[in-house]
A = this chain, B = another copy of it.
C-alpha cells in the first residue's frame, strides 16, 4: 500500500498526533474565560499562534486560525475586497488558482464586482508581465498561489508581490501547497494555508493579514480570532497544526531533496515506460514532491481504479473522476492533455522502493485500460485525403481514440474531422495534436451542439 496523494491531504504527522493528544486535556475550555481552564487554553492558543507565525514569517497578531484553508481563502478574499471597496471592485486571479479562489471570485462577480483571470503558459506559470497588465486603478485585490496544486509549478510570487506593492494593490498568496517546504518569499499582503496539507489535522487553516492592509471582515460579528474567524476555537487542532508545521519544516530541506529525486525519476521513466504520455508542469521550478502526467487513450477513473487495486492511491484531474464532468480547469488553462491524468504527490518519508513499484505497475494498468477501450497501438500510413469520424455520444477518452485510429487512414497532409459532443474534446483534441506533432486546424460548431474538430496529419 502506498499513498501518493499528499497534495489532497497528508497523513497526520506523529508530532501532530502527540500535540493533539496532549492538548485534548489542556485545550478544551473557552480561552476567553478568566478561570484557570480558560487561561490554560489561552496559553496554548497563544503559543500555537507564535509558532505558526514564526514558520510563516509574520507577526503573531497578523495571523488568525480559521476552520480550513478554504474558509481562510473565502474570508480572506471577502475581507480584503470589502476593505478596499472604495478603491474599486476589480480582482485579479491566475487561471490556475484553487477552486476556493475562483469560486470566491465568481461570487464577487455575481455581486457586481469584476474579475480578470491571468492565463498561464503550457508549464502552468503566469508571466509576470501578463500579471502586471491585469492590474488596474480600480483593482482591490490580486491573488496568486505559491505553487500549483495539480501540476506543482511554482509561481513567481516575489516578482508579482513586488509589482503589486508598486501598484498599491494587496496580493493574497494561497500557500496551501508550499508552506510545508518553507515560507513564501516576497512582499505579499495576505496569505492562507491549510494544516492537513502539512501533516496537521483537518479543521485548521491560517489567514495572515499584514499590518497596514485594509481588511473588513464580512459576515455577522464574532469576537473570536480578532473578529476574522467566527466560531469557538479548535485549540487541540490548532496546537497540533502548529507543532506539525514546525516539525515538517525541520525536516524540509532533506526531505525536499530526497523527494525531488523520486519525482524526477517518475518524470523521466514514465514516458519511457508508457507510450503516448505527456508529463505536465514545469520540470524545474516545481514542488519537490509532486509530478503529474496524462496518458492518452485512457480515462482517469479507470487508471485510478487500476492503480488502487495495485495498492497505489493517486488523484486525477480528468473529467471522468469528478462529479462535475468537466476536466480540471488547471489542465485546461495550460492547454495540456486532460485525459488519463494522474497526479502523484509523495508524502514525507516515501521510500524509493515504493516509487519503483509504482513504475513497475503503471505500464500494465495503462495498457489494460487501453486494450479495453480499443486504443490504437500504432498509426499506420493511410491513403485517404480526408476522413470524418462520428464520435457523437462518445465521451472522453473515446473521441481521441477514434481520432488516433483515423489518422492512420489518411495520407500525410490529409485531414480527419471528428464530430463530437463531449465538451472535453475541445481541450483534448488540440492537446493531442500538440503532443503527437499533428496540426490542429480548428473546430466548427454544430447547430445541435458539439463541434466538428479538424486535424491535419503532419507526420
Interfacial residues, chain A to chain B (CB-CB below 8 A):
1, 3, 5, 8-12, 17, 20-21, 24, 28-30, 32-38, 67-71, 74, 99-100, 103-104, 106-107, 194, 196, 201-205, 219-224, 230-237, 301, 304-305, 307-308, 312-315, 321, 323
Contacts and interface: CB of A to CB of B under 8 A. Distances in A.
A222 B100 contact: yes
A323 B100 CA distance: 34
Contact of A30 (B8, B70, B220): B8
Given A74-B220, A231-B70, A17 B24 contact: yes
A447 to B, nearest CB: 31
A352 to B, nearest CB: 21
This chain's copy number in the assembly: 2
A107 B21 CA distance: 38
A231 B76 CA distance: 14
A84 B235 CA distance: 36
Given A8-B30, A103-B221, 19 more contacts: A3-B37, A5-B33, A8-B29, A9-B29, A11-B28, A11-B29, A12-B28, A17-B24, A20-B24, A28-B201, A34-B301, A35-B313, A37-B313, A38-B313, A67-B68, A201-B237, A202-B234, A203-B204, A203-B234
Contacts of A69: 231-232
A121 to B, nearest CB: 27
A14 to B, nearest CB: 11
Contact of A71 (B20, B38, B103, B231): B231
A314 B35 contact: yes
Nearest to A11: B28
Given A28-B9, A236-B202, A231 B35 contact: no
A25 to B, nearest CB: 8
A230 B74 contact: yes
A179 B221 CA distance: 25
Contacts of A219: 74, 107
Contact of A222 (B70, B201, B230): B70
